[in-house]
């Protein structure tokens, strides 16, 4: 199978973008892993696929695969790249798009300064819906890992996130604790793990160990989840600049029941073809 693709990134969270409307794709988990391999494939954190929508209101359907081959529900940085990709590939001339994902509808807006703003929907905090094993919903939960108890918060932004507050994100045990929380038995669908340092009511720093990938340079849904956790604990105001290793995302959330808005860049690196 010969595939045309674009290599893109959102703050260094990188993607292989595939147009599944004008080319026929037969993707298995193994083929996704081949594409994502940084030594023998194109290399990326996620493979993103554009498809025709299933519901009449939507402009497109957007599917997301982690580098480990698993299909997942949502990807914030990918959504911004998606908006740019469908314009560059002339699949649409629109600057405002309604896109179907496995997690529901996303609204994407291409801004005049080339950034993309995404309405990521309202966060879900009910443990069963995240999913996370807990008897009742709480702001924080104790989580035991190798005999040590950590304090986490749990949020779904369509995909599951655990967030830990840390004093110094540079010294956070992302590589050691990240995989243990990702595979913790209380998260039956595994989880993305964010390490969040609050700098002020308007600025924070974040590193994310992503489910199915490892630490990435940025995670859009992770930044939204971090905002929700920080805002619910009244540590930040409605607008937050989150510094990730790859750059800054601006996140806005005015509180429970409201959608989270994420704004940031989307960059095309090159277009290519690969035989799989
Ligand atoms: N990088 C993404 C999140 C991608 C999916 C995630 N690894 C998961 O398994 O849920 C983002 O920018 O949100």
Q: What is the pLDDT of residues 217-271, one digit of tens each?
A: 999 999 999 999 999 999 999 999 999 999 999 999 999 999 999 999 999 999 9
Dist. CA 128–CA 147, nearest whole Å:
25
pLDDT in the model for residue 179: 98
| Residues paired with residue 99 on neighbouring β-strands, in sequence order | 60, 106
Complex confidence, ipTM: 0.98
**Looking at 26-91, which runs of residues are DSSP E strands?**
46-51, 60-66, 71-72
Q: What is the pLDDT of residues 41-91, one digit of tens each?
A: 999 999 999 999 999 999 999 999 999 999 999 999 999 999 999 999 999
**Looking at the chain, which runs of residues are DSSP E strands?**
2-10, 13-19, 46-51, 60-66, 71-72, 96-101, 104-110, 116-119, 141-145, 148-156, 160-165, 192-198, 203-210, 214-216, 239-244, 247-252, 261-264, 267-275
Please list the active-site residues.
Answer: 75, 219
Ligand 1 pocket mutation pick from 159, 188, 190, 266 by most atoms within 8 angstroms of CB? 159
Query: For atom 1 of ligand 1, which residue has the closest CA?
Result: 219
Q: Which residues contact ligand 1 via a Cβ below 6 A?
A: 13, 45-46, 66, 72, 75-78, 159, 192, 210-213, 216, 219-221
Does residue 252 contact residue 261 with C-beta atoms inside 8 Å?
Answer: yes
Query: For atom 8 of ligand 1, which residue has the closest CA?
Result: 211
């Amino acid at each position: 199978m010969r595939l045309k693709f674009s290599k893109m990134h959102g703050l260094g969270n990188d993607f292989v973008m595939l147009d599944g409307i004008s080319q026929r794709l037969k993707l298995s988990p193994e083929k996704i892993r081949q594409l994502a391999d940084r030594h023998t494939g194109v290399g990326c954190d996620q493979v993103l696929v554009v498809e025709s929508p299933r519901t009449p209101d939507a402009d497109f359907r957007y599917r997301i695969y982690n580098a480990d081959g698993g299909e997942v529900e949502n990807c914030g940085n990918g959504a911004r790249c998606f908006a740019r990709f469908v314009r560059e590939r002339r699949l649409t001339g629109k600057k405002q798009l309604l896109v179907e994902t496995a997690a529901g509808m996303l609204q994407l807006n291409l801004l005049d300064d080339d950034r993309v703003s995404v309405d990521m929907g309202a966060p879900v905090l009910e443990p069963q819906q995240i999913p996370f094993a807990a008897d009742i919903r709480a702001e924080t939960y104790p989580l035991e890992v190798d005999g040590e108890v950590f304090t986490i918060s749990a949020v779904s932004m369509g995909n599951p996130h655990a967030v830990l507050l840390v004093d110094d994100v540079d010294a956070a045990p992302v590589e050691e604790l990240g995989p243990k929380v990702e595979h913790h038995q209380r998260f039956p669908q595994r989880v993305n793990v964010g390490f969040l340092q609050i700098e002020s009511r308007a600025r924070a720093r974040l590193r994310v160990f992503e489910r199915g990938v490892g630490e990435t340079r940025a995670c859009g849904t992770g930044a939204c989840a971090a905002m929700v956790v920080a805002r619910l604990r009244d540590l930040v105001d409605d607008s937050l600049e989150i510094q990730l290793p790859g750059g800054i995302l601006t996140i806005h959330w005015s509180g429970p029941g409201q959608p989270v808005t994420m704004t940031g860049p989307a960059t095309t690196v090159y277009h290519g073809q690969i035989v799989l």
